[in-house]
């Protein structure tokens, strides 16, 4: 048997000396094209490999429980939105946000605003009338406006107190009054809250409609904020028409917060349109967090309207303000009303 002569290698190198860097393929295809072909092949093969995996995975029970955990809806004869999904994850997030974020930051925010108002009152003090009252009174709010304001304010306070009882009552009121007394109060608080909400919303919407014309932001309102309408420091009082910068800020906060709280409140208050648990959870989070901002801001409004600025309360209670008050706080409105020069 003849042993075939095996060639161990080419007699001469395939790549001529000095041209080692040049591969044979590069002469056929430019490098980017070659790379693209390679990548396309790789991608195609990967897809082929993926589609080769059977539809039922290696552990069908694991697939089943994964579906359940991800909230894939099933079929049930006890049919309702809440029953079709075996495990609904949203509730845990809602619980964490309500019991954690909202209740803690809300408490800190409201306590912070109260403390800031208290410090402001101690350090800066009451914004008194600089000139003695002249006794001449200028009409500020009509009877309808005042009734509307106090109607809305009444329901705002009722809603704030009952709403805060709902969020903080368990931590604050149960230790004081016990489970039975608090539950009895809270049952009424819940009903009152749910019926007051739409009544408040009506008042708020009418307020927005009749007051929006006086509350269009203007350049002078930015100036107003520089020394908080002259409440801080000795600088000259900034100009203001019927409604000053601070009041406009409150008006727009009231508008946006009121509409946000109102819409979410209606979603929560009327569980008759088939809204899902998820919708209610999101609505509740918006409702509670915006309501707390609203309450915190209202503390500033209540402060300035009562003890913060002398003579302001009369405008919303008696409907008229003293000439000196108008001159000091709303100089342009004063000039328009009386025809006199404010300064």
Partner 1 sequence: MARMKFLCDVERCIECNACVTACNNEHDIPWSINRRHVVTINDGQPGEKSVSTACMHCTDAPCAAVCPVDCFYTTEDGIVLHDKDLCIGCGYCFYACPFGAPQFPEQKAFGIRGKMDKCTFCAGGPLPDNSPEEYIKYGRNRIAEGKLPLCAEMCSTKALLAGDGGIVSEIYRKRVMARGSNMEFWRWEAAYPPGK
Of the candidate spans 71-79, 129-137, 248-256, 296-304, the one that interacts with partner 1 by CB under 8 A turns out to be: 71-79
The nearer residue to partner 1, 246 or 265, going by C-beta atoms, is 265
Of the candidate spans 4-12, 209-217, 271-279, 307-315, the one that interacts with partner 1 by CB under 8 A turns out to be: 271-279
- Could you say which of 80, 143, 235, 236 contacts partner 1 (CB under 8 A)? 80
Shortest CB 158 distance to partner 1, Å: 15
Rounded to whole angstroms, how far apart are CA atoms 269 and 303? Answer: 31
Rounded to whole angstroms, how far apart are CA atoms 288 and 284? Answer: 6
Task: Give the DSSP H or E segment for 322.
Answer: strand 320-322
202 binds partner 1 (CB under 8 A): no
The residue among 196, 179, 160 whose CA lies nearest residue 269 is 196
- Could you say which of 118, 191, 225, 256 contacts partner 1 (CB under 8 A)? 191
Q: Strand pairing partners for 267? A: none
The residue among 290, 211, 303, 203 whose CA lies nearest residue 251 is 211
Which residues 6+ apart lie within 8 Å of 97 measured at CB?
Answer: 285
Shortest CB 95 distance to partner 1, Å: 5
Shortest CB 334 distance to partner 1, Å: 46
The nearer residue to partner 1, 13 or 74, going by C-beta atoms, is 74
Rounded to whole angstroms, how far apart are CA atoms 152 and 251? Answer: 13
Of the candidate spans 118-126, 128-136, 153-161, 263-271, the one that interacts with partner 1 by CB under 8 A turns out to be: 263-271
The residue among 318, 343, 317 whose CA lies nearest residue 330 is 343
98 binds partner 1 (CB under 8 A): yes
- Which string of DSSP letters, residue by residue, matches 120-142? HHHHT--B--SS---S-EEE-S-
307 binds partner 1 (CB under 8 A): no
- Could you say which of 23, 92, 105, 134 contacts partner 1 (CB under 8 A)? 92
Q: Residue 305: CA atoms inside 13 Å, Cβ hemisphere, count?
A: 15
Strands (E), 83-170: 137-139
How many CB atoms sit inside 10 A of residue 338's CB?
14
Q: Which 279-298 residues touch partner 1, going by CB under 8 A?
A: 280-281, 284
- Could you say which of 117, 157, 161, 190 contacts partner 1 (CB under 8 A)? 190
107 binds partner 1 (CB under 8 A): no
Structure tokens at 125: 């003090």
The residue among 195, 217, 214, 206 whose CA lies nearest residue 149 is 206
How many CB atoms sit inside 10 A of residue 64's CB?
12
- Could you say which of 5, 61, 128, 234 contacts partner 1 (CB under 8 A)? 61
Q: Which 161-180 residues touch partner 1, going by CB under 8 A?
A: 165-167, 169-170, 174, 179-180
Shortest CB 70 distance to partner 1, Å: 11
Q: Which residues bind partner 1 (CB under 8 A)?
A: 56, 58-61, 64, 67-68, 72, 74-78, 80, 82-89, 91-92, 94-95, 98-99, 165-167, 169-170, 174, 179-180, 182-183, 186-187, 190-191, 194-195, 268-272, 277, 280-281, 284
């Amino acid at each position: 048997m003849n042993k075939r002569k095996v060639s161990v290698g080419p007699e001469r190198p395939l790549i001529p000396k000095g041209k080692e860097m040049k591969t044979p393929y590069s002469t056929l295809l430019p490098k980017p094209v070659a790379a693209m072909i390679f990548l396309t092949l790789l991608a195609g093969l990967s897809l082929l490999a993926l589609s080769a995996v059977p539809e039922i995975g290696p552990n069908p029970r694991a697939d089943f429980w994964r579906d359940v955990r991800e909230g894939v809806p099933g079929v049930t004869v006890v049919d309702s939105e809440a029953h079709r999904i075996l495990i609904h994850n949203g509730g845990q997030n809602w619980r964490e946000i309500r019991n954690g974020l909202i209740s803690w930051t809300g408490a800190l925010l409201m306590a912070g605003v109260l403390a800031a108002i208290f410090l402001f009152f101690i350090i800066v003090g009451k914004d008194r009338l600089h000139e003695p009252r002249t006794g001449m009174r200028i009409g500020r709010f009509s009877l309808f406006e005042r009734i509307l304001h106090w109607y809305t304010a009444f329901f705002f306070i009722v809603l704030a107190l009952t709403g805060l009882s709902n969020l903080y009552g368990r931590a604050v009121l149960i230790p004081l009054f016990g489970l039975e007394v608090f539950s009895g109060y809270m049952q009424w608080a819940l009903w009152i809250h749910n019926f007051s909400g739409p009544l408040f919303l009506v008042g708020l919407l009418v307020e927005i409609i009749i007051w929006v014309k006086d509350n269009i932001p203007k350049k002078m309102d930015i100036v107003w904020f520089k020394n908080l309408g002259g409440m801080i420091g000795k600088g000259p009082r900034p100009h203001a028409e019927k409604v000053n910068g601070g009041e406009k800020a409150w008006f727009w906060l009231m508008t946006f917060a009121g509409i946000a709280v109102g819409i979410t409140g209606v979603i929560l208050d009327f569980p008759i349109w088939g809204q899902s648990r998820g919708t209610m959870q999101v609505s509740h989070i918006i409702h509670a967090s915006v309501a707390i901002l609203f309450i915190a801001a209202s503390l500033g409004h209540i402060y300035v309207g009562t003890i913060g600025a002398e003579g302001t309360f009369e405008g919303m209670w008696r409907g008229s303000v003293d000439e000196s008050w108008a001159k000091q706080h709303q100089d342009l409105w004063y000039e328009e009303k009386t025809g006199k020069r404010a300064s």
